[in-house]
Amino acid sequence: MSKPVPPSRAPRVRPAANEETPATKNPPLPAERPDHDLDHSVGYLLNRAASIIAARFSDDLKAYNINLQTWRVLAALRHEDHQTLSDLASHTGSELSYLSRAVSALEAKGFIQRSESPSDRRNIHLSITKAGAAIVAELAPRAWEIERMSTKGVTANELAITLKTLRAIFSNLVDNCDDALVVNRKLTVARRVRRREARDEASE
């Protein structure tokens, strides 16, 4: 689910190869886990929260005959219009095959449109129409309401730490995947997202 634009991120500083970070010296998790308690599993808790947030918002999307994939495309284009399909894939974290179908469906509904780049006719840009922007304007408050509901009882400082931690978890998994047996499609998409994040950080 797309959210209002987050505050600017601080540049991601990588430690030198021979420099130990506090996390390296004192890792938050032990090298071995004696049990398999899901209530203490980072992956399980992340997936559980994400699936419920998605389920809550999906109910609102049904009335507009769109799904989460197409919503993310609309929200991304409303935030930054005139994107190429590749840029949009990086922006939404979507696989190109699924994204192409979502784009075609939105184009058929009149919510987005294609245009050729003036400098290169082979370069197609996607932009949101007035009808598509109207849907985003109607649904964005509900998306934000669910976001606020999900953080009830959480302080601003706790939320900032949580967001920082989630970004670190994502970066760790993508940047240190040399032990992955197979580089599957989701990992390929995640790498593309990380490259976009790195470009954004470098431009800040």
Nearest Cα to 70, choosing from 145, 117, 62, 83? Answer: 62
Q: Does 58 reside within a domain?
A: yes
Q: Does 10 reside within a domain?
A: no
Q: Does 87 reside within a domain?
A: yes
- The answer on 116 and 197 residing in a single domain is no
* Residue 19 pLDDT: 45
Q: What does DSSP assign to residue 9? A: P
Sign of the C-alpha dihedral computed for residues 91, 97, 100 and 104 taken in this order: negative
pLDDT interval class at 2 (50, 70, 90) = very low
* Residue 41 pLDDT: 86
Q: Does 145 reside within a domain?
A: yes
- The answer on 175 and 160 residing in a single domain is yes
How would DSSP label each residue in 57-120? Answer: HHHHHHTTT--HHHHHHHHHHHHS-SB-HHHHHHHHT--HHHHHHHHHHHHHTTSEEEEE-SS-
Domain assignment of residue 158, given as a range: 154-204
Query: Which phi and psi angles does 114 have, rounded to 5°?
Result: -105, 150
Q: Does 101 reside within a domain?
A: yes
| 78 and 3 Cβ atoms separated by less than 8 Å | no
Q: Does 23 reside within a domain?
A: no
13 vs 151, residue with greater confidence: 151
| 132 and 106 Cβ atoms separated by less than 8 Å | yes
Nearest Cα to 7, choosing from 137, 138, 154, 200? Answer: 200
* Residue 66 pLDDT: 92
pLDDT tens digits, residue range 107-139?
Answer: 999 999 998 766 666 678 999 999 999 999 999
pLDDT tens digits, residue range 27-75?
Answer: 787 777 767 778 888 889 999 999 999 999 999 999 999 999 999 999 9
- The answer on 137 and 93 residing in a single domain is yes
- The answer on 161 and 75 residing in a single domain is no
* Residue 192 pLDDT: 67
164 vs 7, residue with greater confidence: 164
pLDDT tens digits, residue range 71-115?
Answer: 999 999 999 998 888 888 877 878 888 888 999 999 999 999 998
Q: Does 12 reside within a domain?
A: no
* Residue 171 pLDDT: 82
Q: What number is the average pLDDT over the span 145-162?
A: 95
Tally of domains within the chain: 2
Residue 14 above 50 pLDDT? no
- The answer on 192 and 111 residing in a single domain is no
pLDDT tens digits, residue range 155-188?
Answer: 999 999 999 999 888 888 877 766 555 556 666 6
Q: Does 127 reside within a domain?
A: yes
- The answer on 194 and 129 residing in a single domain is no
CATH code of the domain covering residue 113: 1.10.10.10
* Residue 6 pLDDT: 44
* Residue 7 pLDDT: 42
- The answer on 167 and 120 residing in a single domain is no
